[in-house]
Amino acid sequence: MAQLEETARNLQTLLETARAHAPELPAQFEASSVLRVYLRDPAQQSVVEAFLRARWPLAQWVLLHAEVCRPELLIEIDAVHRPAD
- How do residues 24-44 score in pLDDT, each as one tens digit? 999 899 998 999 999 999 999
Question: How far apart (Å, rounded) are the C-alpha atoms in residues 68 and 39?
Answer: 7
**Residue type for position 73:** L
| β 60-65/34-39 pair status | parallel
| β 75-80/60-65 pair status | unpaired
Question: How far apart (Å, rounded) are the C-alpha atoms in residues 26 and 32?
Answer: 9
Domain coordinates in residue numbering, the chain: 2-80
Q: Sign of the C-alpha dihedral, residues 70, 82, 60, 58?
A: positive
pTM: 0.85
Containing 46, the helix (H) or strand (E) segment is helix 45-55
Q: Provide the pLDDT for residue 85.
A: 66
Q: What are the backbone angles phi and psi of residue 12, rounded to the nearest 5°?
A: -65, -40
pLDDT confidence band for 57 (50 / 70 / 90): very high
